[in-house]
Amino acid sequence: MTTLFIAVGGVGLTLLLLSTLLGGVTDCVDSAFGAINCGVSSAAIGVALTVFGAAGFLAFDLTDRSWLALLIAVVCAFLLAAAAQWTISWVADTDLGRVNQNLVGSIGTVTTAIGETVGEVRLDDINEVETRLAHSSTPLPVGTRVVVREHNENRITVIPL
């Protein structure tokens, strides 16, 4: 049973680290699941799996009862994943007014090549402190100057200048 908890916790920690360090990469996963409208970020899933593994491992070590360890792990994972998702949503909604800002016409630079899926663009606007997920109808290499053609929630569509 401890092997299960260690394995699940390891997968969760890996997902959590990837979503923290390479946010744009795991946002592609979030966007794919967003089509199903699950409403849960990959970071929150990583938190859930990590907490499930850690809490289950500790509970099993302390009680030697599989059913109790699973129950404790599931409850802890659910509570902390919900807290993580709420925090992520709150930060995303209050991030320098980005939600209400119309970016159409803004100019920026491609920071991660835009291929058939998504890439990243850093906009020149002073309020834009992070890169944005972007897609284009044509592939764009890093360093290409672009203008925002469409803005939908967290993703922008760009065309070369």
Both 10 and 83 in one domain: the answer is yes
pLDDT tens for residues 87-120? 877 776 665 444 457 788 989 999 988 877 788 8
Both 29 and 71 in one domain: the answer is yes
For the chain, the domain total comes to 2
Both 131 and 65 in one domain: the answer is no
Residue 70 scores a pLDDT above 70? yes
Which domain-ending residue is among 78, 93, 108?
93
Both 120 and 63 in one domain: the answer is no
Proportion of the chain above pLDDT 70, given as a percent = 83
Which domain-ending residue is among 93, 114, 134?
93
Both 9 and 85 in one domain: the answer is yes
Query: 138: domain range?
Result: 98-160
Which domain-ending residue is among 73, 93, 113?
93
Q: What pTM was computed for the model? A: 0.57
Angle separating helix axes 23-34 and 42-63, nearest 10 degrees = 100
Q: How much is the pLDDT for 35?
A: 42
Both 89 and 118 in one domain: the answer is no
